Amino acid sequence: MRRATGCKDVATQHGREALTTTLLLATGEALEVSGGLDEVAKQLENAARSSAGSLAWFELAADGERFGVNPGHVVTIRRGRE
C-alpha cells in the first residue's frame, strides 16, 4: 500500500486541512490524492466517459507528485484519513 500521508500530516490550504481521497486500485495499491471525494469521483467519471485510454490526473497528497490513473483500474474510492 502506498500511503502518501500520515493521519496528521495532511497539507493545509488557506489555514485549514486540505481534503484527501483514497483510491484503491485493482493491483491492491492504495493512493491518497489531493481533493475531496466528490471532486475525485467527478474526475474519474469524466475520464471514463472520454475516449478509450483516457487518464484521470491527480496529485499525491503528501508531495504533490502528479500522476494519471486509468479509471477502469479503480476498485473503490473513499474519503482520505483525517
Q: pLDDT band at residue 3, thresholds of 50, 70 and 90?
A: very low
**Cα separation of 65 and 58, whole Å?**
8
For residue 22, pLDDT beyond 50: yes
pLDDT of residue 6: 35
In single-letter form, the type of residue at position 53 comes to G
For the beta carbon of residue 48, count every other beta carbon within 10 angstroms: 13
Structure confidence by residue, pLDDT tens digits, 4-16: 433 333 444 444 4
**Cα separation of 82 and 2, whole Å?**
17
Which cell numbers hold the place of 6? 500520515
Domains located in the chain, CATH noted: 12-79 (2.30.30)
Structure confidence by residue, pLDDT tens digits, 46-58: 999 998 889 999 9
pLDDT of residue 81: 79
Structure confidence by residue, pLDDT tens digits, 28-77: 999 999 999 999 999 999 999 998 889 999 999 999 999 999 999 999 99
Listed as own residue / partner, the contacts of 11-14 with beta carbons closer than 8 Å and 24 or more positions apart are 11/61, 11/62
